[in-house]
Structure formats: structure tokens, C-alpha cells
Structure 1
Amino acid sequence: MTDLRDRLGRAVFRRVAGPDGPAKRARIHDTPGPRWFGPERPIRTVHGDASMFIGGLSALLLQSLHPLAMAAVSAHSGFRGDPWGRLQRTSTFLAVTTYGTASDAEDAVARVRSIHERVRGRTAEGLAYHASDPHLLAWVHASETDSFLRAHERYGARPLDAAGYDAYVADTARVAEALGVVDPPRDRQALARCLDSYRPELRATPAAWAAARFLLLHPPVPIAVRPFYGVLAANAVALLPSWARSVLRLPRIPVVEGLAVQPSGLLLTHTIRWAMTSGARSRTAE
């Protein structure tokens, strides 16, 4: 069992962090210097939990509902051609800004802002988009923060209290401001208001439906892993706000979700947490 646990932990870590994951992890956690967030901050608790796997997939589905944001992702991110590379870059950015030195966090933000500055174009309807637009950045930030928070609240090993989740939103606001978001929400109530303010702009475009089909029905994972990914996907869908599911035409069956989907999600995150804890100890010993 110990060998199985270690191999599973290494495999998951390699998928999420990439082949140079151990080196990146060592730099992020072991480099001395001041950090944006201390060990006691809620952002470390949330971003270090296995619930992020479900929250991350749910965030992608939610973010796809903004036509301009989805157009930018579809045209420039290459998520279909290199989905694992995109995941690894995103996870590295989250790890650096959450756990890394302030200097490394600032460098990571500067790289992302440079990329955003170059991402611009027009939708099929002729609407202009620019990834550095503070309004679009605020949508991506709010939908991501809400998804991570709700996933941790439902699947986290140690859910926070109301004050803890307000503090988590405040922590994420620091990163959002560095990326160019103007006056990001700093508590859960403000986060809910922010998301609601975008509702008139949201709709399921053909690009959003294509992204949902790719993420939910044709994931880039081996056949042997499909059942586990299916559990992940079902829980990511169940985590979405009811209005978002309606826009994406994703069905809701409360009895099935209560009796099967959420328990399977809890088991999956527990298994990932179990494996990754072993993998972290093993990597530390190397």
C-alpha cells in the first residue's frame, strides 16, 4: 500500500506540476525571503487542499460563460492542444503567488501581465476583447475565487468558518490587484455581488459549449483514468451555481447528486489528499 500510495502521489504531482515539478516545488517553498502570505493565511489552506482539483474544473466551466473571456481563451490559450501544459502553468502561478517569495510572486505576475497585454482580438460577432481589460480580469478572478472557495467549503479537509472564507477572498484580492483588477471583492458578500453584476453579460456561446464538451466528455486522460475523471467532472458540474448550469444546459438531479455525486467527490478528494501527502514526504526526502 505504501508503494502504491507513493506512485499515485508522484503521478498526480507530475501531471499537475510537470516533469520539473520537484525543482519548482523546492524553489517555491525553500527559497528564503518574505512572502505575500504567511503560513496562517486562509489562502494557503484553500490552495493547498485537494478540493482545488474540483474547484479548478468548475472555474473553467463558469469562466467560459463570458463571451469575451471565452473568445480570448479559445483563440490564444491552446488549452485543447496542450491542456496539461496550461494546467501546469496555472498551478505553478497559484503556487508561486500563494507560497513563494514576494520577489518570485511579483515576477510571476509580471509575466502573466505581459502575456495578457498581447492577447487581443475580436469575437465571431465582431466584439473586441483584450485580456488585460480590468473588467474581464475581474470576471476571471471572481469566478475562480468563488469556485475555489465553494469547492473547499464542500470537499476541503478542514473547511473554514465564515470569517476564514472572508479572509480568503481578501487574500486573493491582493493577487488580483497585482494582475490589474480594480477594487476586487474582499469578502464573500462582495464576491457574490460581483458575480451577480456580470449575469447580464453571460451566455453560452458555441465556444463555451465546445469547451464544456472537451472538459466533460472528451478529457485528455487515459481510458483507465476516465472513471476517476468522471467523478471529478460530475462534482465540478454539481458545484456550479444553479443559474450557470442552466445557461450551459447541464442537468441537475438532486437525489443522485446527494446520494452519489457528492459522496464520490469526497472520496476522490480524500484519495488524492492521501496520495499527495505521501508524495510530498517522498519528494522532501529526495
Structure 2
Amino acid sequence: MPAKTDPRRTHPGQTHTGRTHPGGSHPGKTNVVATRFERAFDADIRARFFKGLDFAGPEGDPGWFGPESAVWYVHSHLPTLMLGLVGAAYIEGLDPSISWMGYDHSRLAQRVDGIPTGNIDPEGAAVRLGHSLSFFIGTAYGSTATAERLARTVRAMHHTIKGTRPDGLAYDADDPEWLRWNYATVVWGLATAHERYHRRPLRDIDRYYREFVRVGEALGGTDLPATKAEVAECLESYLPRLAVTPIKAFATGPNLRDSKAKPWEPGSAFMDWAARDLLPKWAQKLCLYQPPNPIALRARRTMLWTVLNGLHDATGPIREFREAKARVAGGVSEPVASTAPTAPDPVLTREEVEATA
């Protein structure tokens, strides 16, 4: 059954009363921001990466979680969702095998005539962000069939990611240890960004951790951590195998000072700071993060909090959330009992997977 509503929060998408927009924004200005954001999201993300995803039907289908879930609440705040994904990608890449998987099998690394330049490919980064958003929005608010389709696609892509690092160690995206690490980094990033920057974070954040296990299981994960404490312990247990590889180093810290990315975009110096500032203390030490003095740190966090919540206030939950809410307005049926795969996936090439995505 769907989890009970946390008494400290309103329903996802419900307007909080008695609040003003940061800086006393005028309603007309707010409408302009909302319109621009919706147009940009529609052109850059929705039109490219949400094809074939159903949020409006079938009527009464709760999807994997349902309207009273912690997942619906957390993912309805798109700015903190995006920041959480940036933080998750940062800590995930501290595993050298992950770094080489991305380098060998994704378009993140810019290449000219097949030769790496040492820079991030802006289009490759945009594609990765777009697919990530479609997956985490689709599995939260999509119909059951939509969520299952997304999970099958991601599993199929993982099946194609196998290779050998330069030091001779093999990597395999289907390795249960890798799946556990990947899952822990994602749920950690989304939950941590929510706790720090959401205007009204969940009082019981473990509700979110417990519910989100369904996503990890759908991707083939087993023995997954299901609470904040368990996730923290899981992440730290991987420390002996983590490192800042050259691949990781070229896209962080001082190397981003001349980045052409806008401050709020992945690959910018500011978002690099925001991601490293989210990290656990041991991870901050690993990547040589030096926080500013306490006054400057508080000012930066306050500014980011204001920007993220101001954007959410201006735009509200995205169309997919609104469609899902209408879909279940008349009541919901029972969600599926399990999201874990029940049969082996067909073996597809990368080209075949991309053609069905």
C-alpha cells in the first residue's frame, strides 16, 4: 500500500501558504520565469528524452509508488532532483571502474577524430542528463508500463558495458557489487540534496530510502541498503577501492575555472563546488575539497537554497507530475508487488538499445 503522508509536509505540488518568493518576486516576473523554463525543458529534455512515456493513463494506475509516497514528494522538486543527480554522478565516478566505463562507453568524453581532448563533450553531458531525468521522473510518475519500459532499457544498456581498464582489471556493469555501488550513490545524492535544499524536507527521510529500493531492484540490484544509515555504511565500505583517476580529475575543481558552462549547469565551477559540498567528509578528503570559511560557506549554501526554491516556486511541479496526479485523482489500484526482473533480458547491441530508447 502507498506510504502514509508525512504530517510535516503538504501533498506534492500543493502550494504552501504564507510564503513569498525569494527577493519578493512579482507574480508577472514569476510567470515569465515559469514560461521560459517550461519551454526550455520541453525543447531540450521532454521532446528528446520523454518519447513514448505515458503519464496520463491508464486511469487509477499508481505506477511504482503512488501519490502519497515519499518518492512523489521528493521528485516533484525538480531543481533539487537535478542537483542530487549531479552529486550522485560525482561520487559515483570516484570508483575507477565507473570512470573507465564512462570514458569507454559514453559520449561524455569529448573526442576529435576519435582522440580524447581531455574535455567534457557538452552534447554528451546533455544526453546523459536528459536520459537521467527521463528515468527518474518516468519511474516516479509514469504508469507501471512506462516505469518497466525504462528499467528494461537501462538494464539492456548495462548489459553492453563490459571492458578492461588500462591496469588490466575487468569491469562489467552487471556486476552485483557495481550495481550496489551505483544504487547507493544515486539514492544518496537525491536524498541528500532534498534534505539540504528542499524548502520543506521530509521529516522521515528513511521513507524515501525504503521506497527507492524498488528502482534499484528493477535494475537488477540485490541486497540493497534501505535506510540513510545503511546507505552511508555501504558507500564508506567501498572506500578501499576508490580513487580520483585522471578521468575524474580533468572534470573537477581548478580544471573548471574556465568552463563555458553556466553556473547552474553540470560542468560549471559552481555546480562542481555544490556537488563536492554535498559529499560525505571522507569523500571530500579523497577529492581534496577545501570548504570556504564558515561565513562564506553559509552564504553560498543560502544563495543556492534561495535559487533552487525560487525556481521551484516560479515553475511548480512539471507537466508529468500534473498528469500523474490527474491519472490517480479518482483513486488508485494496488501497485505491483515487485519490480525485480522475472526473466533474463534479451541480448541487444548498443545500437539496438539506443534505437528503442
Q: Which category describes the TM-score, using the shorter chain as reference length?
A: 0.7 to 0.9
Residue among 197, 205, 212 paired with 1:172: 212
* TM-score, with structure 1 as normaliser: 0.86
Counterpart position of 1:94: 136
Q: Unpaired runs of 5+ in structure 1?
A: none
Shift of 1:38: 0.8
RMSD: 2.7
The runs of at least 4 aligned residues of structure 1 exceeding 4 Å deviation read 20-24, 213-220, 227-231, 278-281
Equivalent residue for 1:247? 286
Q: 2:277 aligns with which of 221, 224, 238?
A: 238
Q: Are 1:9 and 1:279, in contact at CA under 8 Å, matched by a contact in 2?
A: no
1:265 aligns with one of 281, 301, 304: 304
Unaligned runs of 5+ in 2: 1-28, 109-119, 324-357
User: Which protein has the bigger helix share?
Assistant: 1
Cα distance in 1, alignment partners of residues 270 and 248 from structure 2: 21
Instruction: Provide the residue aligned with 2:55 in structure 1.
Output: 29
SS of the residue corresponding to residue 171 of structure 2 reads strand
8 Å CA contact retained: 2:30, 2:314: no
**Which residue pairs with 1:119 in the alignment?**
161
1:47 matched to 2:114? The reply is no
Deviation at 1:244, TM superposition (A): 1.2
Query: In the alignment, is residue 188 of structure 1 matched against residue 219 of structure 2?
Result: no
1:163-218 CA-partner distances (Å, limit 9, x unpaired): x3111111111110111111111111211111121111111111111232599546
CA contact (8 A) 1:9 1:278 kept: no
Contact map agreement 2:64 2:140 (CA 8 A) in 1: yes
2:248 pairs with one of 199, 203, 208: 208
Q: Mark the structure with the bigger radius of gyration.
A: 2
CA contact (8 A) 2:253 2:272 kept: no
Deviation at 1:13, TM superposition (A): 2.0
2:315 corresponds to which residue? 276
Shift of 1:12: 4.9
Structure 1 position 230, deviation (Å): 4.8
**What is the CA–CA distance in structure 2 between the aligned matches of 1:55 and 1:216, rounded to whole Å?**
20
Aligned 8 A contact 1:83 1:220 in 2: no
1:48, 1:86 → 2: CA distance?
Answer: 20
Number of aligned residue pairs: 276
- Quickly say closer, same or farther: Cα 1:15–1:267, change in 2 above 3 A: farther
Shift in Å, 1:253: 2.1
**C-alpha spacing 1:208/1:20, structure 2 compared with 1 (3 Å):** closer
What is aligned with 2:349? none
How big is each residue's C-alpha offset from its partner over 1:246-278, in whole Å with a ceiling of 9 and x where there is no partner? Answer: 211221224145332101111110222133328
Q: Distance in 2 between matches of 1:233 and 1:66?
A: 18
**1:10 pairs with one of 28, 38, 49:** 38
CA distance in structure 1 between the partners assigned to 2:254 and 2:92 by the alignment: 15
Contact 2:76 2:318 in 1 (8 A): no
Spell out the pairing of 1:71-86 with structure 2 (5 A cutoff).
Answer: 71-79=100-108, 80-81=120-121, 82-86=124-128
Scaled by the length of structure 2, the TM-score of the pair is: 0.70
- Aligned-partner Cα distance in 2 for 1:206–1:246: 17
- Partner residue, 2:202: 160
**8 Å Cα contact 1:165-1:188 kept in structure 2:** yes
Paired AA for residue 81 in structure 2: M
- Shift in CA distance, 261/134, structure 1 to aligned 2, threshold 3 Å: same
Is residue 61–residue 212 contact of structure 1 (8 Å, CA) maintained in 2?
A: no
- The one-letter code sitting in structure 1 at the alignment partner of 2:298 is L
